[in-house]
């Protein structure tokens, strides 16, 4: 059968649109199949690589654990050593009674050493101890004059902590700091004899006065100390002037650092000011 060109042209005019649409669908379908197969292949290769990597890491971790913790032989040795020790201890029970006196002697020595250490610690702490008992009958007779007329800059704190601006920390404080301008006269809080005049590396120029079992100390004084060692002073007499020599309290307002001791024990002087 011979196909006429005019008939072919008319066929494409009528069916051409559907033919092109069919070809497009075929192309899209083939492309989708190709892309899907390609993606599946890549995913399979990726999963295989991940499985190999996981297996390699697991083997590496196992080797590291075996290398870092080869405890089997050590544990066996430890068990054997422990068993040996138990056997030796069992054998030694038969002669334990004969060594009992030696053990007691060692225990007594250890206890004695511990007691000596405790005594040493107690001796060291006596210098910063504070009496927590009520005033005794003798205490009621003590009457102090304030070294300067000023407010408390830093309170007495031995059994508790108080904040130090200079040190920027919480610490103990064995006296009271009484505010006063630099150059203000500092007077003796009680009569007595001057026992020390010295420069303290922390509290600066200091005067110490003793009266019986009581000692008063005046620190942060200037260079012009008005008394000498061995000199008798009366209550209220001028012993020096407020300075700025206390390095450990340099950030505080100008003040005199005042301490009171009885039998070597630091006590709060505020309760004795009259």
Question: 168: domain CATH number?
Answer: 2.70.70.10
Q: Say if residues 218 and 264 touch (Cβ distance below 8 Å).
A: no
> Residue 210 is part of which domain span?
140-272
Q: Is residue 70 classed exposed, middle or buried when 0-12, 13-18 and 19+ CB atoms within 10 A define those classes? A: exposed
Give yes or no: residues 268 and 144 share one domain: yes
Nearest CA among 200, 222, 193, 211 for reference residue 262: 211
| Residue-level pLDDT at 103 | 46
| Residue-level pLDDT at 40 | 83
In terms of C-beta distances under 8 Å and separation of at least 24 residues, what long-range contacts does 75-84 make, across chains too? none
Rounded alpha-carbon distances, angstroms, from residue 218 to 77, 207, 221, 242, 243? 69, 5, 7, 10, 11
Distance CA 232, CA 241 (A): 18
Q: Is residue 30 part of a domain?
A: yes
| Residue-level pLDDT at 118 | 55
Give yes or no: residues 263 and 148 share one domain: yes
Per-residue pLDDT of 1-42, as tens digits, reads 555 666 666 666 666 777 788 888 998 888 888 888 877 877
Low-confidence ranges of the chain (pLDDT < 70): 1-15, 49-50, 52-140
H-helix or E-strand containing 219? strand 214-221
In terms of C-beta distances under 8 Å and separation of at least 24 residues, what long-range contacts does 208-213 make, across chains too? 209/233, 209/239, 213/262, 213/263
Total of domains in the chain: 2
Q: Is residue 22 part of a domain?
A: yes
| Residue-level pLDDT at 8 | 63
Q: Is residue 63 part of a domain?
A: yes
Which residues pair with residue 250 across a beta bridge? none
pTM of the model: 0.51
**CB-based burial, 6-42: b 16+ in 10 Å, e otherwise:** eeeeeeeeeeeeeeeeeeeeeeeeeeeeeeeeeeeee
Give yes or no: residues 76 and 165 share one domain: no
Give yes or no: residues 149 and 209 share one domain: yes
Give yes or no: residues 162 and 226 share one domain: yes
Give yes or no: residues 149 and 261 share one domain: yes
Distance CA 89, CA 96 (A): 10
């Amino acid at each position: 059968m011979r196909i006429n060109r005019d008939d072919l042209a008319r066929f494409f005019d009528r069916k051409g649109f559907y033919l092109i649409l069919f070809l497009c669908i075929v192309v899209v379908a083939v492309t989708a199949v190709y892309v899907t197969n390609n993606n599946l292949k890549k995913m399979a290769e990726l999963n295989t690589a991940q499985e190999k990597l996981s297996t390699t890491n697991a083997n590496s971790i196992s080797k590291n654990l075996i290398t870092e913790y080869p405890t089997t032989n050590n544990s066996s040795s430890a068990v054997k050593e422990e068993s040996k020790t138990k056997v030796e201890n069992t054998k030694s029970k038969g002669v334990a009674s004969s060594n009992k006196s030696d053990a007691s002697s060692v225990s007594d020595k250890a206890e004695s050493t511990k007691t000596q250490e405790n005594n040493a610690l107690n001796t060291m702490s006596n210098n910063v101890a504070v009496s927590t008992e009520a005033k005794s009958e003798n205490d009621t007779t003590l009457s102090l004059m304030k070294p300067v007329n000023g407010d408390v800059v830093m309170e007495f704190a031995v059994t508790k902590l108080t904040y130090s601006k200079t040190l920027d920390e919480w610490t103990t404080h064995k006296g009271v700091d009484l505010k006063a301008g630099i150059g203000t006269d500092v007077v003796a809080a009680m009569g007595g004899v001057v026992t020390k005049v010295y420069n303290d590396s922390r509290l600066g120029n200091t005067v110490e006065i003793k009266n019986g079992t009581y000692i008063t100390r005046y620190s942060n004084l200037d260079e012009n100390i008005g008394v000498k060692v061995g000199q008798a002073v009366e209550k209220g007499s001028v012993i020096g002037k407020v300075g700025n020599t206390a390095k450990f309290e340099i950030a505080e307002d100008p003040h005199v650092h005042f301490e009171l001791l009885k039998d070597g024990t630091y006590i709060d002087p505020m309760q004795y000011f009259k």
